[in-house]
Structure 1
Amino acid sequence: MRADRLVSLVLLLRHRGRLSATTLARELEVSTRTVLRDIEALSAAGVPVYAERGRHGGFALLPGFQTELTGLNHDEALALLIAGSRRGAQAFGLGSALASAMLKVIDALPEGQRDTAAGAARRLLIDPETDLLSRRVAGEEVSDAIVAEVRRAVFSGHKLRIHYAASGQAARWRTVDPIGLVTVRDQGYLLATRAGEDRTYRLSRLRAAEELPEPAERPERVDLDRTWQERSTRFRTGGDQVAVELRVDPARRDQLVGTALAVLAEETDEDGRLRLEVTFQDARHAEWALWNLAADAEALAPPWLRDSLRDRAAAITARYP
């Protein structure tokens, strides 16, 4: 791990010139104290890195210094395979590996192409953390150490012991047979079986994970896309789901559809508003979705949902007379 970090530190200085200890620490996801120790180690190994004092100081390499290309490690190669979405790499705990791999790829390019590629990359921004209204894009915190353990079990084909907190429940231990990992809208999922039954676990709800030595009971080959589609279909059509009939302003349709599990029917009323029948995961989900649409949506059925929204609105009105 430290050897990879030292290589990344040298490559950062090569490609970006003088950088402060704070900037290096942020890029490498370590403390400034660790950066200073790494600088000392590089100097002791003969790498010509030096410090510049002052307000705009930092660390730099002597001009003309070059390194030999260091091969990609397993995690870096894997990160490149899913580099189509940087946040996808983050969801699987491979964000730092992706950054390190990209530095090595740039370093492998001929000098002329390297400068062109670096310049082009600075003109592309993919999946920023906020949208145009400065609203932070929702994301989930997932422990890299936990996800790394899950990845090892998935790739090695071993059983996995997880400490998992299902929605509204206390975390408890269970042993599963991992099948694969999926990321959807920045949310990571573990597809597995437990006692022969299909199970899907959200990575952000894992509190701990431990790869076991026993082989997992699973087929050698898996069509992960098909498996996910099948489970998604079962999720939308089972459990405690509720069907809701409602009217909504056409301008808010996409928000509604993005929240609902499925749209069962849709038509346009004479006044231009849309009349839809949609399904939600449960009663709480339905109430939350309709409340967020405020006056732009009206629940028509079931009656309990109308009553619940009316009572909530009355409570708010009473709070602000």
Structure 2
Amino acid sequence: MRSDRLLSIMLLLQTRGQLPASDLADRLEVSVRTIMRDVEALSAAGVPVYTVRGPQGGIALLPGYRTDVTGLTADESRALFVLLSGTAHADLGLGQALGSALRKVMATLPAPHRPDADLASRRILIDPVRWRGTPGPDRPAPDLAAFQQAVLGNRRLRLRYRHGRDNRVHTYTLDPYGLVNKAGVWYLVADHDGEPRLFRTDRALSATVLTQPAQRRDGLELTDVWQALRRRIDDIPAPLAVTARVRDEILAKFLRIHEADLADPTPTNSRAEADGEPGWTRVELRFRSLLAAEALLAFGPDAVVLTPDGLRQALARKAAATAALYAPRQDT
């Protein structure tokens, strides 16, 4: 749209000073003639824009004229460019609009803040969708100071880390690409010995920023490495099929917590089919393991597993063991 192009011309002239018409035409992907017509339109609208003829000429704004969003602090500028994952905007058809908006905001930022804002946009990412079968964060937010220093300072990081699968502690020297907040959980995306790895920051026992610069692989940014790692995890099959009936009063909460585990995104009500009692909805789920499916026990009698029998038996054993812990004590 022409209004967008006129604003872009003003912002480019404001931030870069005098520019040749051919340079503006290349940046905005229009002809030089179109640029000259736009300059005439800006002048007619009262914008103090003028042309300078000759080999060193171009188009410029009178000194002191500004159309901006200045007044932002350095932290505020960085905050604007901590982005949601690109797929979130693309899914809404807003990918191009987001890029255009950020270019306009970047052009209007105070010059000293632009490098930090640009770096934040390439090193920090927010992905709001939970992993399949993984509950939300249940620990306090970790101290991210050392992680941020390494990521934004382009430095290597030495990480002493406790793995969740076996509680073993290992020490790694890492080349960070950036930080990702995945549904409230912070992860460090980094190379270890040239291979991409993912580390939950709340499992770090210590993090030390080293003096050596990070040695990332050429041509790769955080979004590239993150997408590859995310697909590697999301593509793990979930072979355990589970059928449950859920009381309608807690159905919304259940679906919110187990959204990533649903085999059918639109569960149907099957009141009389299961046991003749109204007020229940049948839900089909998929879990990676029996252990992961045992999380259903958290809903107590409001979520009843119908199949498989192996999971029903496992839940019964856990429920019995828990009940035994709270049985009345016998006086001796």
Give the structure-2-normalised TM-score.
0.49
The residue number in structure 1 matching 2:270 is 270
The residue number in structure 1 matching 2:236 is 238
* 1:148 paired residue among 112, 130, 145: 145
Local SS of the residue matching 1:201: strand
The residue number in structure 1 matching 2:253 is 255
Contact 2:177–2:216 (Cα < 8 Å) also in 1: no
Higher RCO (C-alpha 8 Å, min separation 6): 2
Distance 1:206 1:249 in 2: 39
The question of 1:301 aligning with 2:298 is answered no
The residue number in structure 2 matching 1:313 is 319
**1:163 CA drift (Å):** 0.7
- Structure 1 unaligned blocks of 5 or more: 1-69, 85-136
Contact 1:241–1:283 (Cα < 8 Å) also in 2: no
Superposed CA offset, 1:46-76 (max 9, x none): xxxxxxxxxxxxxxxxxxxxxxxx9956x57
* 2:154 paired residue among 142, 154, 157: 157
**Partner amino acid for 1:160?**
L
Fraction of identical pairs, as percent: 28
Contact 1:140–1:187 (Cα < 8 Å) also in 2: no
Give the structure-1-normalised TM-score.
0.50
* 1:204 paired residue among 189, 202, 214: 202
The residue number in structure 2 matching 1:218 is 217
**Partner amino acid for 1:202?**
R
Local SS of the residue matching 1:210: strand
Q: Give the stretch that moved more between structures: 263-272 or 238-247.
A: 238-247
Local SS of the residue matching 2:221: coil
The residue number in structure 2 matching 1:175 is 173
Number of equivalent positions: 195
Q: Against the structure 1 CA distance between its residues 303 and 150, is the aligned structure 2 distance closer, same or farther, given a 3 Å change threshold?
A: same
How is 1:103-118 mapped onto 2 (pairs within 5 angstroms)? none
**Partner amino acid for 1:151?**
Q
Superposed CA offset, 1:103-157 (max 9, x none): xxxxxxxxxxxxxxxxxxxxxxxxxxxxxxxxxx9552312xxx22222322243
**1:291 CA drift (Å):** 1.0
- Structure 2 unaligned blocks of 5 or more: 1-70, 85-136, 272-278
Structure of higher CA gyration radius: 2
**Partner amino acid for 2:291?**
R
Q: Against the structure 1 CA distance between its residues 267 and 142, is the aligned structure 2 distance closer, same or farther, given a 3 Å change threshold?
A: closer
Distance 1:196 1:275 in 2: 47
Q: Against the structure 1 CA distance between its residues 77 and 154, is the aligned structure 2 distance closer, same or farther, given a 3 Å change threshold?
A: same
Contact 1:243–1:279 (Cα < 8 Å) also in 2: yes
The residue number in structure 1 matching 2:4 is none
**1:177 CA drift (Å):** 2.4
**Partner amino acid for 1:244?**
V
Aligned-pair Cα RMSD in Å? 3.5
Contact 1:179–1:218 (Cα < 8 Å) also in 2: no
Q: Against the structure 1 CA distance between its residues 228 and 247, is the aligned structure 2 distance closer, same or farther, given a 3 Å change threshold?
A: farther
Distance 2:249 2:235 in 1: 27
**1:221 CA drift (Å):** 5.0
Superposed CA offset, 1:11-65 (max 9, x none): xxxxxxxxxxxxxxxxxxxxxxxxxxxxxxxxxxxxxxxxxxxxxxxxxxxxxxx
Q: Against the structure 1 CA distance between its residues 214 and 239, is the aligned structure 2 distance closer, same or farther, given a 3 Å change threshold?
A: farther
Contact 2:179–2:189 (Cα < 8 Å) also in 1: yes
Superposed CA offset, 1:240-265 (max 9, x none): 87442222224433433343333222
Local SS of the residue matching 1:268: coil
